[in-house]
Structure 1
Amino acid sequence: MANSKAVNESAMLDEILHGLKRPNKRLPSKYFYDEMGSRLFDQITRLEEYYLTRKEKEILQNNIDEIVDNIGTRAMLVELGSGSSQKTRLLLDQLDNLSAYVPVDISEKYLLKAVNELRLDYPRVTIIPVFADYTNTFRLPDLSGSYENQVIFFPGSTIGNFSPDETQQFLQTMASLSDREAGMLIGVDLKKDREILEAAYNDSKGITASFNKNLLVRVNKEFGADFNTDQFTHKATYNAGKGRIEMHLISDCEQSVLIKDEEVSFEEGEYIHTENSYKYTLEDFESIVSKWFTVKEVWTDEDAFFSVQYLDKK
């Protein structure tokens, strides 16, 4: 049997090289989340400009009784991209009859650290971590008949990182994970003023810039590349026509980079597109999910910056 780590590294390298050899260079945003990237993102969530985490926690706290009622009893709670699982603690504090909590994350080391902390704080909860890229098909643990319904928790507006086509594919995959009663508790960022959106992704402390550049650091570390991160500038702008924040790394000069034996050239001002973050109206999002899910409940903060929604599988 092939070594899975080697297979994953080979697939990652192929994806990176393919993206950087395109006329419009790209790197997949899912590779942000090695251990350092996960730590940096945790710092981002505490920034004043980054309203998303603060507003989402506010919504969860203010509506926790209704949210718990929708999740129901004896549920298997599956969190995608769990990271430090801070928001999940709000649910675990209230879900007395949870059958299992299944955090899914691409960063194995960071995931296991978070799980160890959760097991100490919630000894009554069965916690089964799954190390996987949830953007691809993955397997959930077989809990047989020990749970009544499955609820996917997808906070943070990570759904916005998918293109419309990717969102459709993702929703289809999520709907197929369970053959019984199932739902999703999902965070969805809403459209608002450009100034508020762009400030959230261009923070004054430069942490988002470090997070973005850490993609290059990771490629250096894992594949022996020679990116000089000082020669790239972070920039995030709101594309109103497409309804999304676009995050880039811009080359400050003409330069070449070696990745393994492959050379990648950059013109001055050429950029690598590293992430999109789509923003929605409530009506737009309901239309997108309608083939697979029904929007049962919507909760927003008082500014209507952010929403948490409960979806029922059709």
Structure 2
Amino acid sequence: MPDRITIDNRLPEDHRARSLRADATAGLTADPKSLPPKWFYDAHGSVLFDRITRLPEYYPTRAERMILRAHAEEIARLSGARTLVELGSGSSDKTRLLLDALTAAGSLKHYAPVDVSEAALADAADALCRDYPDLRVAATVTDFEADLALPEAGGPRLIAFLGSTLGNFVREQRAAFLARLRAALTSEGDALLLGLDLVKDPKTLVRAYDDDQGVTAAFNKNVLRVLNRELRAEFDLGAYDHRAVWDPEAEHIEMRLRARVAHQVKIPALDLTVDFGRGEDLRTEISAKFRRETVTEELAAAGLELAHWWTDPQSRFALLLATPAAAPSLEDPPQPSDA
């Protein structure tokens, strides 16, 4: 590993196993039943999701990349970021557009990705250090939903949370998470870059989560494969139908697995038997869709101020730049510190 890379692993060795057991126990004994979407993403699930991002129905990834291509230079100028922090960085693919712009602007010194997968962070860091000879990578292995300890790197920092991942939280969870993000913006000039999917016609939204090829259905059922492998569960994937449902009141998409017949599922690792009624749903994901006015309100409640807003030409997706409410305008970015 190059000496320009550091990886701080803050997770205990059994973190994944303990978290899965806790989430499965809580979610499968609740009414209604649910599981967090993070359990889609084993190796097979990650391959399926990559296929989803290339489907004609699934616009968010393309739209966000389009905005980044069009406005990365402006984002770099406005932020003057010396450190780019990315939450849930994964392969850091889209991030390269920001890294290119910040490097060209002459401000960037550090990239600080945060993810639960040490292997993904190490692979991405190696690739980035080959392509960006002057870049230093300070990676953190942690579950940022519970531990938002950001790397101590030189400010100002731009904290990127892309992919509309914020939409996987219900409103109360978003409020708490945004408040924690605000508390983490401690260096002068720190800013938050959020990617958000926008409210649009329900047909377009549902199609994005229920494609004609059935890739999203396979991705949805992959959570059952994970439980079968990791917890010795006995889910029959063929006993469930994939469902994507638009909730107009909450303004979010729900992905569900609907039981075709009444049955029981044994999960030996949890000493648990779960009853499913015919037509009963297991919710596996929510994906909130946003409006500019409601986002502005949610940011303000967390002590953040909307500074800039960009969308793709069809206004399907948005990138926004937010600052602490008491911070100076980003029109005159602060000078980098010596750190």
TM-score (norm 1): 0.93
- Residue 306 (structure 2) aligns with: 295
The SS at the match of 1:216 is: helix
What is the deviation of 1:77?
Answer: 1.0
1:257-305 C-alpha deviation (Å, 9 max, x unpaired)? 1221211111121111111111111111111111321100001111111
1:157–1:187 contact (8 Å) kept in structure 2:
yes
Could you list the per-position Cα deviations for residues 55-99 of structure 1 after superposition, in whole angstroms to 9, with x for gaps in the alignment? 11111111122111122142x211111122211011111212312
- Out of 101, 105, 111, which is 2:111 matched to? 101
- Larger mean Cα displacement after TM superposition, 276-285 or 76-85: 76-85
Q: Secondary structure at the match of 1:253?
A: coil
1:137 partnered with 2:147: yes
Deviating more after overlay: 26-35 vs 86-95: 26-35
User: TM-score by structure 2 length?
Assistant: 0.86
Q: CA deviation at 1:220?
A: 1.4
**One-letter code of the match for 1:34?**
D
Among 15, 20, 25, the alignment partner of 1:12 is: 20
| Aligned residue pair count | 308
Question: Residue 119 of structure 1: which of 129, 136, 153 is its match?
Answer: 129
Kindly report which structure 2 residues correspond to 1:17-56, keeping only aligned pairs within 5 A, or say none: 17-56=25-64
User: Structure 1 residue 114: deviation in Å?
Assistant: 2.8
Match of 2:79 among 54, 71, 76: 71
- Matched residue of 1:94: which SS? helix
The code of the aligned residue for 1:124 comes to D
Supply the distance in 2 between the matched residues of 1:18 and 1:305 (Cα, whole angstroms).
35
Root mean square deviation, CA, Å: 1.6
Instruction: Tell me the CA shift for residue 217 of structure 1.
Output: 1.0
The change in CA–CA distance for 1:116 and 1:42 in structure 2 (over 3 A counts) is farther
The 10-residue stretch of structure 1 (16-25 or 34-43) with the greater mean CA deviation from structure 2: 34-43
Secondary structure in 1 matching 2:138 = coil
Which residue identity lines up with residue 237 of structure 1 in the other structure?
Answer: V
In the alignment, the residues of structure 2 paired with residue 113 and residue 231 of structure 1 have an alpha-carbon distance, to the nearest angstrom, of 37
Cα distance change of structure 1 residues 114 and 227 upon mapping to structure 2, 3 Å threshold: farther
Equivalent of 2:166, from 159, 166, 171? Answer: 159
SS across alignment from 2:167? helix
- The 1:141–1:57 alpha-carbon spacing in structure 2 relative to 1, beyond 3 Å, is same
Unaligned runs of 5+ in 2: 1-10, 326-339
Tell me the percent identity: 38
Paired amino acid for 2:231: F
Distance 1:95 1:70 in 2: 10
Once the two structures are TM-superposed, the CA of residue 307 in structure 1 deviates from its matched residue by 0.7
For 2:258 and 2:68, locate their aligned partners in 1 and report how far apart those are by CA, in whole Å. 37
Aligned to 1:230: 238
Distance 1:283 1:105 in 2: 30
Question: In the alignment, is the contact (CA less than 8 A) between 2:206 and 2:244 conserved in 1?
Answer: yes
Query: Hey, what does 2:157 align to over in structure 1?
Result: 150
Q: Secondary structure at the match of 1:10?
A: helix
Is the CA contact (8 Å cut-off) linking 1:38 and 1:110 kept in structure 2? no
Residue number among 164, 169, 172 corresponding to 2:179 in the alignment: 172
Counterpart residue type for residue 152 of structure 2: D
CA contact (8 A) 2:109 2:134 kept: no
Residues of 2 paired with 1:168 and 1:297: CA distance? 20
SS in 2 for 1:217: helix
Q: What SS does structure 2 have at the residue aligned with 1:61?
A: helix
2:44, 2:117 → 1: CA distance?
A: 10
Amino acid at match of 1:303: Q
What is residue 203 of structure 2 aligned with on the other side?
A: 195
SS for the counterpart of 2:13 is helix
Say whether 1:255 aligns with 2:263. Answer: yes
- What displacement does 1:234 show? 1.1
- The alpha-carbon distance between structure 1 residues 25 and 252, as it changes in their structure 2 partners (threshold 3 A), is same
Asked if residue 85 in structure 1 is aligned to residue 92 in structure 2, the reply is yes
2:250 paired with 1:239 = no
